[in-house]
Amino acid sequence: MHCCFCNGSWEGLGVVEHERVRGHSRESAGQHFTVWRCPSCFSLHSLEQVDLGYYYARYPLKEHRLDFVMRRAYGNRLALLKKVGLRPDHCILDYGCGAGLFVRYLLDQGYRNAAGYDRYVPDFSDDAVLQRKNDFVTCYDVIEHFEDPRLCMQELREATKPGGFTIIGTPNAKRTDLSKQARFMVELSQPYHRHILSEDAMMRLASQSGCQLQMITHRFYLDTLFPFVNTRFAWSYLRRMGNHLDTAAEGLRISNVLSSPKLLFFAFFGYFFPVRSNFVAVFRNTARAG
């Protein structure tokens, strides 16, 4: 096996850092998947081939709703886009949009040229939308799901106008400790996360695709000052509830929060204890028009 980012090699179980990681959903919790780390660029890779169509047909986050928490989190996404220069008349594509919640949020905010694409969601699976050139393309928690992240990066660049912006949010492999699976279950998220990039690997991949870094932040978009809406609280709550991805799409069980002084503290003050194992990078498409 070779790293798809730097061609670093799997030299045998006794050489490469690796762990057996349990499935992230309730349905797959009884299954385990091998994750190994490239010794050159520190990216993480899933060893076994899986039927992604099977797992995404049962993907828990399909049940996500545009509730108070998600609206606050999407407000952070929108604030970053506006900081870079997004205007209401711009064309924006949410690549890997899932159930299309962020697209709906943008439309509600007056961004009438917002669209979404997700090959595993029938309502958004028409790839004709990828032929449109967009001023902004967002790609949150998607590139790590690809069997070939280079294909994802290529499609992102081709969907972005020359001079336009691509925003990628993804876990940071270098800050994900394989030996602490419970703590980093969201970042590892097996079997969905096929290749988790290190920050250096992401920069090289983007540069090779003709994209130039404009800015980077290690604040996850879920981080707000609103009570209960921050990454530290969310990740801690998931662990307390069994570390299943399904919990993220279910209603908050306040009794479980009230019975845990730690959770209650993070509910109000978690913003000041950020989780640094994800990053969001803004790239500009340096290709020339025509």
3-state helix, strand, coil in the chain (%, to 5): 35, 20, 45
Confidence of residue 290 (pLDDT cuts 50, 70, 90): low
Structure tokens at 71: 């609206």
Please write the tens of the pLDDT for every residue from 79-106: 999 999 999 999 999 999 999 999 999 9
Q: Which percentage of the chain shows pLDDT scores above 70?
A: 96
Domain residue limits, the chain:
60-226+276-285
75: helix, coil or strand? helix
DSSP 33: E
The whole-model pTM stands at 0.93
Domain at 60-226+276-285: CATH architecture: 3-Layer(aba) Sandwich (3.40)
- Integer CA distances (angstroms), 281 to 128, 201, 215, in order: 26, 12, 6
CB 187 within 8 A of CB 276: no
pLDDT for position 2: 78
Per-residue confidence band for 13, with pLDDT thresholds at 50, 70 and 90:
very low
